[in-house]
Amino acid sequence: MTDEHEHYFTADPSVPFERIPLTADVWGRELELVSGTGVFAQGRLDIGTSVLFRETEPPAPGRILDLGCGYGVIGLAIADHWARQAGPAEGFVTGVDVNERAVLLANENAASLGLTNYRATTPAEALAQGTPEYDEIWSNPPIRIGKQALHELLLTWLPRLAPGGRAVMVVGKNLGGDSLQRWLTEQGYPTTRFASAKGFRVLETIRA
């Protein structure tokens, strides 16, 4: 992992903290969010996540994990979609990120959007609380932490999918999207390529 990316994946980044607003186009709706220095994709919606939104539909209400949530855009888009549905929507999104700035920003964004069906936390806190089974995991996973660390991350959280649950992930082809697909299937998590665009793979993994 290079110094350029290291601070995204540390609990307390050393770079000075500055909040940076952005507008994200998610499933045809614009969300006004705040990102920050020391957090992935500051001031923008990264290409991989934008591909994820273009190639998918929001999941049905349930228990969703936004893994490596950053400033929260994926999980907040899901929670916002549910909140705008007619009638009560039973569902809750948990954002998880090792970066404490990301957790702070994601929760601030949820508050500014008036979303009570979303909460971000650190992995340690989530695991200490006795993590429930999730219906789905959505993620633009932190590929740059390295293959071993990424595999450990996925094998920590994929077993927390409910039987028949799925994970939806976007991964750059040049960052190992195809090899990750094969590896997940070999680990007993059948994975297919849901879509491919702009050099990114959208993968769908099922827990048997």
Where would I find the H helices in 129-188?
147-157, 177-186
As given in the structure block, the two tokens for residue 190 are: 């059948």
Does residue 61 register a pLDDT over 50? yes
pLDDT value at residue 188: 95
pLDDT value at residue 136: 98
pLDDT value at residue 25: 95
pLDDT for 102-155, tens place per residue? Answer: 999 999 999 999 999 999 999 999 888 776 799 999 999 988 888 899 999 999
**DSSP labels, 39-63:** STTTTS--HHHHHHHHH--PPPSSE
pLDDT value at residue 67: 97
CB 25 within 8 A of CB 4: no
The residue among 98, 30, 111, 108 whose CA lies nearest residue 70 is 98
pLDDT value at residue 17: 87
The residue among 205, 152, 206, 196 whose CA lies nearest residue 174 is 196
Tokens 């609380």 correspond to what residue? Answer: 129
Structural domains of the chain, with CATH: 3-206 (3.40.50.150)
pLDDT value at residue 87: 58
**What type of residue is 194?**
F
**DSSP labels, 73-125:** HHHHHHHHHHHTSSS----EEEEE-S-HHHHHHHHHHHHHTT-SSEEEE-HHH
CB 46 within 8 A of CB 200: no
pLDDT value at residue 13: 57
Higher local confidence (pLDDT), 6 or 72:
72
Band (3; pLDDT cuts 50, 70, 90): very low
pLDDT for 62-104, tens place per residue? Answer: 999 999 999 999 999 999 999 988 655 689 999 999 999 999 9
Q: Give the separation between CA 28 and CA 53, rounded to whole angstroms.
A: 9
CB 99 within 8 A of CB 67: no
The structure's pTM equals 0.91
- If phi > 0 it is left, if psi is from -120 to 50 it is alpha, else beta; for residue 3 that is alpha
| Contacts for 3 with CB less than 8 Å, ≥ 6 apart | none
